[in-house]
Amino acid sequence: MSHVTVLTSGKREQTKIANRQAILVAAREVFAELGYEVATVRDIIRRTGLASGTFYNYFRSREEVFEALADDGAARFRPILRACWEASDTFDGYLRAAIQAYFDFLADEHETWQVRRPAGEKHPHMRIQTPEMERVFEEVREAFSKAIEHGGAPRVDADYLAAACIAIAREVGDRMLERRPVNTAAAADFVVKLILGGLPALPRLAP
């Protein structure tokens, strides 16, 4: 392979990466300004300045773009999750740190939705499972398995426990984003107490 061919191939790859990133940046801005339910592929293409054919080389629909954004978010959260495990001495400490980190990350990620989205539109509630989300699940399950193995957590099914904790965090996180002000600490405290102690552990509301 000639030197020119290598340079050309490298430049082509850089262009692909740049185009894909431009589409994701544009999509995030369009979803924030117009709202996910209103935004169209045409709106995203117009924001990028790319040809429509170029867009469809990377994504087939608005839903695929949203999935890519979700996958990117999971990829950026995974190192944070791992750091929570490495810094924690106990299972309870890891659980609390991980839940708090997730809610803080979620609030930061959707700040533009909270401030700029059209009045009355809720945070898009789409249940998708991307490769990076699956890796996040594996990260949590592995941490739980290690805690159980070393006697730091009750001997329960780590697979079910990871699935239950993630499901609870997702649902409460969606509700948290709909409230004003967004209180990540209160949401994390609720989830941790529910997981560790069940309903009896939750604080009672005033009548």
- The pLDDT tens digits for 77-120 are 999 999 999 999 999 999 999 999 999 999 988 775 544 454 44
- Cα-to-chain-centroid distance, residue 63: 15
Per-residue model confidence (pLDDT) at position 60: 92
Per-residue model confidence (pLDDT) at position 114: 45
Per-residue model confidence (pLDDT) at position 119: 46
Per-residue model confidence (pLDDT) at position 8: 62
Q: Is 197 exposed, middle or buried (0-12, 13-18, 19+ CB in 10 A)?
A: exposed
Per-residue model confidence (pLDDT) at position 206: 83
Nearest CA-CA partner of 81 in 150, 163, 136, 148: 136
Nearest CA-CA partner of 96 in 207, 1, 164, 190: 190
User: Residues 6 or more apart from 140 whose CB is under 8 A from it?
Assistant: 81, 98, 162, 165, 166
Distance set, CA 8 to CA 12, 53, 68, 83, 166 (Å): 6, 21, 27, 39, 44
pTM for this predicted structure: 0.80
Residue segments in the chain with a per-residue pLDDT below the cut of 70: 1-9, 112-127
Per-residue model confidence (pLDDT) at position 15: 87
Q: Which domains does the chain have, with CATH numbers?
A: 1-60 (1.10.10.60), 61-207 (1.10.357.10)
Q: Is 204 exposed, middle or buried (0-12, 13-18, 19+ CB in 10 A)?
A: exposed
Per-residue model confidence (pLDDT) at position 202: 84
